[in-house]
Amino acid sequence: MKARAVAITVSLLVNVALVVVLVRRSGGAADLPAPSPSTKNVPSAEPAPVVVRTIDRSGPEMWKGLASGSIEEIANRLKAEGFPPRLQRVIVRALVAQQFADRHRALADLIRARPWWKAVLDSSEGAKVIAARQRLQREEDDAVDAVLGPDLGSTPYITSSRLYRYGNLPPSTLAELDRINSDYGELMSEIRNASQGILLPEDREKLLFLARQGHADVAQRLTPEQLFEYDLHSSPEGWWLRVLTGGMNPTEEEFRALFKVRFAFSAPYSDGQYEYMTPEDKQTLAKLDPQLTEQIKAVLTPDRFAEYQLKSTAEYRQTDAFAKRFALPANAAATIVTVQNEITKRADAVRANDTLSPVARNAQLGALADEAVARLTPTLGDSSMNAYKQSAGGWLDALRPPLPPGSAPKG
């Protein structure tokens, strides 16, 4: 279940990342006169000296005058000529894309060669296209950043996303962390895309290795306190904790306390990255779960701990989504899941009761299903009950044992 939840989380995170990428994307490759090749491939702290050239300031030669020389010269000229930062980035980006024109053509060939009858994200050909596209975009981003610096022309979305993901760090550090994560993310997504959803042991080893290398690169640039903040914001455990605590609406202090407990607990196993853990590690962690629960209990008040236990489950999240859709009262999801938990626990006891005959067991389970419906109806109302059974209420059907072959349902 957790693996599935991780898959859902990863998929949602990919959605978030793609939305961020799409929002920040602006401009594109242009068929422009190619500027002289850039002599730099890495970010430069100091801008290149401004080269003074005569520009035709009124006629059709203005662009040629602006776009002559190296990328650095053009960037400096754009700045000197008062182009706004975002436009400097758009123009430099287009010129850089022109320098990579051969790569764009090769990518287009790769897209054309991809079998159209295969799923994009589910084939080795698709994985190659994705990897090539990411590599090209990364290299172009690097080339643009090398000339303009990482922040020129940044948007509130980029700034907000970086602060959310890495913590309150200086802009240059945030940009550097973005670069590191993007580089390793590119390599990791190549492995993931080629895996077609089934990770083999060798895939996990490679992914874990890359995750560790990436974290080590980050750690080199941060103080221990900053690294803790980074992990708090960016680690898989942090992301998962946000999902778990979304329903209980934690305070910052509660979140930090819970993170410390959970992170310390899972870190010895594949650095706390559940997806990369061996089955043995997962079993060990599962056995230690009661200890983790005790530690969580120790950092929350009794009321909040009870809320955490109720609302950190997949059942609560699904019921909460249902309650929001049908505009049920604020506490409806908690009421429903409380009934669900109690009935499910009693059903488990019935199933585990060796002394019951199959007929008696089924009768008791059916009675529990009837009781559940009766207790939930006041909260859901008759109109929502049917919809509930179709979505979050699938567990009600699971209480009713399948009819023996050849028998007809009553009524």
**Tokens, residue 390:** 């179709």
The nearest distance, CB 69 to other proteins, in angstroms, is 15
Nearer residue to other proteins within complex by CB, 158 or 210: 158
CA dist., res. 319 & res. 247, Å (int)? 11
Nearer to other proteins by Cβ, of 374 and 398: the residue is 398
Pairs from 216-224 (Cβ < 8 Å, separation ≥ 24) = 217/180, 217/184, 218/177, 218/180, 218/181, 221/173, 221/176, 221/177, 222/169, 222/173
> b/e per residue, 362-371, with b = 16+ CB within 10 A?
bebbeebbee
- Residue 15 binds other proteins, judged by CB under 8 A: yes
User: From the CB of 307, what's the least distance to other proteins, in Å?
Assistant: 15
Q: Which is nearer to other proteins, 257 or 310 (CB)?
A: 257
Query: Which residue among 151, 255, 267, 344 contacts other proteins (CB under 8 A)?
Result: 255
Smallest distance, other proteins to C-beta of residue 388, A = 9
By CB under 8 A, the residues from 346 to 365 that bind other proteins are: 352, 354-355, 357-358
Q: Bridge partners of 70?
A: 36
Q: Interior CA angle at 109 toward 106 and 113, to 5°?
A: 140
- The answer for residues whose C-beta is within 8 angstroms of residue 403's C-beta and 6 or more apart is 409
Tell me how far apart the alpha carbons of residues 396 and 384 are, in angstroms, rounded to a whole number: 14
Residue numbers 139-158 binding other proteins by CB under 8 A: 155-157
Question: Is 101 or 310 the residue whose CB approaches other proteins more closely?
Answer: 101
Q: Is 330 in the site for other proteins (CB under 8 A)?
A: no
Residues 18-77 binding other proteins (CB under 8 A) are 18-19, 21-22, 25-33, 55, 57-64, 66
Among 81, 205, 294, 370, binds other proteins (CB under 8 A): 81
Q: How many CB atoms lie within 10 A of CB 291?
A: 10
230 binds other proteins (CB under 8 A): no
235 binds other proteins (CB under 8 A): no
Per-residue binding string, other proteins, 91-130, x by CB under 8 A, is: x-xx---------xx-xxx-xx-xxxxxxxxxx-----xx
